[in-house]
């Protein structure tokens, strides 16, 4: 009988003998090692060895009787059954031949890896009739194991973990015969991540399944904190096409709090322990840009080798400074969803609900229910069907009860935490990393949990109303008129990338500046001269990871624009340069010191007039630098730029000259610069503006208000605002016809074509090239355009 197989001898065909996890490690060592991927060496015990262990201890019949006695309706005796099964295995004796085979292989591994200090012993289950079945997260792993005797004991503990409560229920839920599933233990050289860092990598975006990015997350110390979701880890998104073209591929870098660091412990029976992360390490990213890129390259190679999206664990050795892949398995949540044309869109009807708690959103749904705060799975009887489960953190022991909850909220954890993974699997609403949810939320209180707003999940007071819209894009034909999106939040980009659109017709920078940057660009450039001590203190905290506060602005803005550009690549993403009015800019941190007080900001210092003016030109320079990074550094040349509120052709020339001076030369690397058509002068002189710009986008709101001579912010005259007014429609007609005469592209951004079919008909009849909608209006907008084109 073969008790042991070395990793170097394992291939995918051995999955039935050693489980998918161990077979995958062997496959990577032999097939991907030559391509530069480093995998720690080791060996695996076999399924035959497992059955031999049961036979020699006469356990099979007793275990079968135990499993047959399981209450599979309410699982009331699950804890008792699981405990008895594990004790039965731990009380058994390890057969001498099996034990000696483990010891011998361990000695050989130590001889081969001379600087090896300890090993990790990981469980890898397999089913006889379904060898490719995934049992991810159901069984135990033992770290920092030293010595022959200790390795044998860890293997026996792995065998016992085949009967954890969660694993037993998992097999019942997935219709596996308990007595046809075997356990293989993988014994692998331990990477000294306790002296460095470790984490998880997905070769697709974990929330949306968007397949053009690699998502990497990690923490200082051993990787268990990331796998278990005990910390807010660092997060990185890497764009695959840019990486393959040797351009800067890192779309975003988010620094986590990284409060705990897991290290080895010398105490007997406690192989690891958590320590507090020092402040200086909390303020550092766990790996460098070069290491982020290296991991992403490895992720792509692994994905290409297996021809499927992968869920990968990585670790960095603090002694050698080398990166390693320690585990790889197929990603199952998004990969199993074959039909991505059907979506359900959730929208809160009440936008001003009272916020109680927020955290990281998992998924994009909304749910409501009564709060139930549980300290452990043992309190499962307190959770009623449809309740909102609130706890510190979950682990696989929570699996049997989580499906009862309408929503799941945890104080700790990130996108790869257990709660996040289970929520995706069961399609539940979840918010992780909500920090003090167990303190702020009250038992029995009705709440609404919304993950429909992008990356931020919010818990609202009471039961709010929301709208659910079933979208089936397969039923929609593609109109001749291009349909594009209006977008501002990069957190929603990957989700909306699957919509049947031809890119983004309007990306608003204001959303990013207001929500992510929060500070006025000139306040960042003149930080030391700021007079407002309160604003200065807030800016100091916001930018504490940056010595150069201007770099904070360009980093945040370029990452946001880069994320949206990557999501829709290679389709156009038209970015409108900032169009705050002076009163809105004043609301940013430090803004009051740099903005004029105007009687009517709507008609004042806004748009193009700011960009070349001494008062704001240096702030515009930062915007231009961020766009240059996206286009030239990241290689996302699908980004086009757009100038808002440009009153005269002379002003247009000045702005274009300033942009060229700041590295954004029209035509360079196919750079196109568009202009918003929103002032009557734009329409009257559109042929002259067409000599300066590559395209136009009609801003119907501003064009309507300026045609009718009213301020739409004024409550007294707002009822006169009407995009269907004959004068407003005449302006639209003139703009479209004259743009077409000059052979210049022209589109429109706004709600009217989705709200009013007659406006869609009018635009199609006039020959508009494209129409951009907010995401929630895309379906209706396409329907209106298709009807209009049919009539035309």
The pLDDT value recorded for residue 270 is 47
CA–CA separation, 364 vs 346, rounded Å?
A: 7
Least confident of 231-245, 540-554, 707-721: 707-721
Least confident of 174-178, 399-403, 538-542: 399-403
The pLDDT value recorded for residue 337 is 56
Give the pTM: 0.86
Tell how far CA 205 is from the center of its chain.
Answer: 5
The pLDDT value recorded for residue 266 is 63
Which pLDDT band, with edges at 50, 70 and 90, does 552 fall under? very high
Catalytic residue chosen out of the listed positions 139, 334, 418, 612: 418
Would you state the structure tokens that stand for residue 720, as one six-digit string? 């006169």
Burial 222-235 (b: 16+ CB within 10 A, else e): bbbbbbbbbbbbbb
- Residue 321 CB neighbours (<10 A): 10
Percent above pLDDT 90 for the chain: 72
Say whether 418 is catalytic: yes
Question: pLDDT per residue over 447-470, tens digit each?
Answer: 999 998 777 899 999 999 998 877
Cα angle 747, 750, 752 (rounded to 5 degrees) comes to 110
CA–CA separation, 91 vs 117, rounded Å?
A: 29
What is the CB-side half-sphere exposure of residue 474 using CA atoms within 13 A?
A: 5
- The answer to whether residue 305 scores a pLDDT higher than 80 is yes
Compute the average pLDDT of residues 318-344: 78
For residue 570, whether the previous peptide bond is cis, meaning omega lies within 30 degrees of 0, is: yes
Provide the terminal-to-terminal Cα distance of the chain, rounded to the nearest Å: 78
Which pLDDT band, with edges at 50, 70 and 90, does 775 fall under? confident
- The answer to whether residue 339 scores a pLDDT higher than 60 is no
Find all residues with CB under 8 Å of 550, minimum gap 6, and list them: 521, 524, 525, 622
The pLDDT value recorded for residue 25 is 93
Strand, helix or coil at 20? helix
Compute the average pLDDT of residues 634-649: 97
Say whether 646 is catalytic: no
CA–CA separation, 525 vs 548, rounded Å?
A: 9
The pLDDT value recorded for residue 412 is 85
Which pLDDT band, with edges at 50, 70 and 90, does 537 fall under? very high
* Dihedral sign computed on CA atoms, order 769, 773, 778, 783: negative
- The answer to whether residue 309 scores a pLDDT higher than 70 is yes
Pairing of strands 673-677, 407-410: unpaired
Compute the average pLDDT of residues 63-85: 92
The pLDDT value recorded for residue 241 is 96
- The answer to whether residue 267 scores a pLDDT higher than 50 is no
Compute the average pLDDT of residues 253-259: 94
Compute the average pLDDT of residues 756-767: 95
The whole-chain average pLDDT of the chain stands at 91
DSSP 744-771: -EEEEESSHHHH-HHHHHHHHHHT-SEE
Pairing of strands 197-202, 639-643: unpaired
Percent above pLDDT 70 for the chain: 96
- The answer to whether residue 774 scores a pLDDT higher than 90 is no
């Amino acid at each position: 009988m073969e008790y042991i197989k070395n990793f170097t001898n394992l291939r995918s065909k051995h999955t039935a003998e050693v489980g998918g996890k161990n077979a995958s490690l062997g496959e990577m060592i032999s097939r991907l090692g030559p391509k530069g991927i480093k995998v720690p060496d080791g060996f695996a015990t076999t399924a035959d060895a497992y059955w031999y262990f049961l036979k020699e201890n006469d356990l099979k019949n007793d275990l079968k009787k135990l499993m047959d006695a399981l209450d599979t309706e309410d699982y009331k005796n699950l804890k008792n059954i699981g405990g008895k099964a594990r004790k039965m295995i731990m009380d058994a004796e390890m057969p001498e031949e099996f034990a000696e085979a483990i010891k011998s292989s361990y000695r050989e591994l130590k001889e081969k890896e001379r600087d090896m200090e300890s090993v990790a012993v990981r469980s890898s289950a397999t089913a006889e009739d379904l060898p490719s079945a995934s049992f991810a997260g159901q069984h135990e792993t033992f770290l920092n194991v030293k010595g022959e005797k200790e390795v044998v004991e860890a293997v026996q503990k792995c065998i016992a973990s085949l009967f954890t409560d969660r694993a037993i229920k998992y097999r019942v839920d997935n219709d596996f015969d308990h007595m046809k599933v075997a356990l293989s233990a993988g014994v692998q050289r331990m990477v000294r991540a306790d002296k460095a860092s470790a984490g998880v990598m997905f070769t697709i975006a974990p929330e949306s399944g968007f397949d053009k990015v690699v998502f990497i997350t990690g923490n200082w110390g051993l990787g268990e904190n990331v796998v278990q979701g005990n910390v807010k880890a660092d997060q990185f998104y890497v764009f695959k096409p840019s990486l393959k073209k040797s351009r800067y591929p890192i779309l975003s870098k988010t620094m986590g709090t990284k409060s705990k660091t897991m290290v080895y412990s010398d105490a007997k029976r406690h192989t690891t322990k958590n320590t507090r992360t020092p402040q200086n390490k909390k303020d550092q990213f766990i790996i460098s840009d070069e290491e982020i890129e290296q991991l992403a390259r490895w992720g792509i190679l692994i994905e290409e080798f297996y021809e499927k999206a992968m869920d990968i664990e990585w670790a960095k050795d603090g002694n050698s400074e080398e990166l390693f892949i320690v585990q790889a398995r197929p990603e199952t949540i998004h990969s199993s969803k074959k039909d991505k044309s059907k979506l359900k869109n959730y929208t809160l009807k009440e936008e001003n609900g009272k916020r109680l708690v927020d955290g990281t959103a998992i998924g994009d749904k909304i749910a409501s229910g009564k709060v139930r705060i549980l300290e452990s799975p043992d309190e499962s009887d307190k959770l009623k069907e449809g309740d909102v489960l609130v706890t510190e953190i979950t682990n696989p022991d929570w699996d049997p009860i989580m499906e009862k909850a309408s929503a799941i909220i945890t104080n700790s954890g990130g996108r790869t935490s257990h709660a996040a993974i289970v929520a995706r699997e069961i399609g539940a609403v979840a918010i992780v990393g909500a920090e003090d949810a167990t303190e702020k939320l009250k038992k029995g209180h009705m709440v609404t949990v919304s993950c429909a707003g992008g990356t931020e999940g919010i818990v609202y007071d009471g039961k709010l109303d929301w709208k659910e819209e079933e979208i089936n894009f397969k039923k929609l034909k593609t109109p001749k008129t291009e349909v594009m999106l209006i977008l501002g939040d990069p957190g929603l980009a990957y989700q909306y990338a699957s919509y049947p659109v031809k890119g983004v017709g309007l990306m608003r920078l204001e959303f990013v500046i207001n929500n992510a940057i929060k500070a006025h660009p000139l306040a960042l450039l003149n930080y030391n001269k700021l007079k407002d001590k309160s604003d200065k203190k807030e800016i100091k905290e916001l930018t504490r990871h940056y010595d150069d506060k201007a770099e904070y602005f360009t980093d945040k803005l370029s990452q946001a624009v880069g994320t949206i550009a990557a999501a829709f690549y290679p389709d156009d993403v038209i970015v409108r340069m900032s169009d705050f009015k002076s009163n809105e800019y004043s609301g940013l941190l430090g803004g009051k010191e740099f903005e004029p007080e105007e009687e009517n900001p709507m008609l004042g210092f806004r748009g193009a007039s700011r960009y070349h003016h001494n008062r704001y030109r240096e702030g515009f320079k930062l915007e231009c630098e961020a766009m240059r990074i996206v286009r030239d550094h990241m290689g996302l040349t699908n980004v086009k730029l757009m100038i808002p509120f440009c009153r005269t052709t002379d002003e247009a020339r000045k702005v274009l000259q300033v942009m060229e001076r700041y590295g954004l030369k029209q035509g360079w690397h196919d750079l196109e610069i568009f202009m918003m058509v929103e002032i009557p002068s734009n329409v009257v002189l559109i042929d002259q503006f067409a000599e300066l710009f590559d395209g136009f986008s009609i801003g119907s709101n501003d064009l309507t208000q300026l045609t009718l001579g009213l301020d739409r912010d004024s409550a007294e005259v707002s009822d006169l605002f009407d995009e269907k007014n004959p004068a407003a429609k005449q302006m639209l007609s003139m703009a479209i016809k004259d743009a077409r005469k000059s052979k210049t592209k022209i589109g429109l951004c706004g709600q009217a074509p989705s709200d009013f079919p007659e406006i869609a008909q009018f635009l199609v009849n006039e020959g508009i090239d494209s129409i951009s909608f907010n995401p929630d209006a895309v379906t209706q907008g396409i329907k209106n355009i298709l009807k209009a084109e049919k009539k035309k």
